[in-house]
C-alpha cells in the first residue's frame, strides 16, 4: 500500500490526490491503521479543499463499517 500512499504526497497533482483520498475509503482491509493514519495526515496537511473533503469522507466510510479499529470497539448505542 505504500505505493498508493505516495500518490497523496504534495508532489503529486491535486487531481491524483483527490482521487486517491476518495479511493482509500473503498478499500477493505484486515488492518486499517496505516490507511487511517495517512488519511488523518492528509486532513491535517492537505491544501486542496476537495482532497481534504475526500479524505474526511473516506475516514467516515472506513469507520462506519469497522467493528474494531486500533483496539477501539465500536458498538451501537442502546
Task: Return the number of other C-beta atoms located less than 10 Å from residue 37's C-beta.
Answer: 12
pLDDT in tens, 17-71: 999 999 999 988 877 888 999 999 999 999 999 999 999 999 999 988 877 665 5
Confidence of residue 78 (pLDDT cuts 50, 70, 90): very low
Q: In this predicted structure, what is the pLDDT of residue 56?
A: 96
Q: In this predicted structure, what is the pLDDT of residue 12?
A: 76
Beta-bridged to residue 69, according to DSSP, are 72
Confidence of residue 77 (pLDDT cuts 50, 70, 90): very low
Q: Where are the domains of the chain?
A: 2-73
Q: In this predicted structure, what is the pLDDT of residue 4?
A: 80
* 2-73 belongs to CATH 1.20.120: no
Amino acid at each position: 500500500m505504500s505505493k498508493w500512499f505516495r500518490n497523496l504526497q504534495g508532489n503529486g497533482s491535486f487531481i491524483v490526490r483527490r482521487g486517491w483520498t476518495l479511493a482509500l475509503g473503498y478499500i477493505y482491509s484486515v488492518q486499517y491503521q496505516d490507511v487511517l493514519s495517512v488519511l488523518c495526515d492528509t486532513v491535517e496537511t492537505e491544501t486542496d479543499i476537495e482532497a481534504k473533503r475526500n479524505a474526511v469522507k473516506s475516514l467516515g466510510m472506513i469507520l462506519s463499517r469497522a467493528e474494531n479499529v486500533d483496539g477501539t470497539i465500536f458498538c451501537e448505542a442502546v
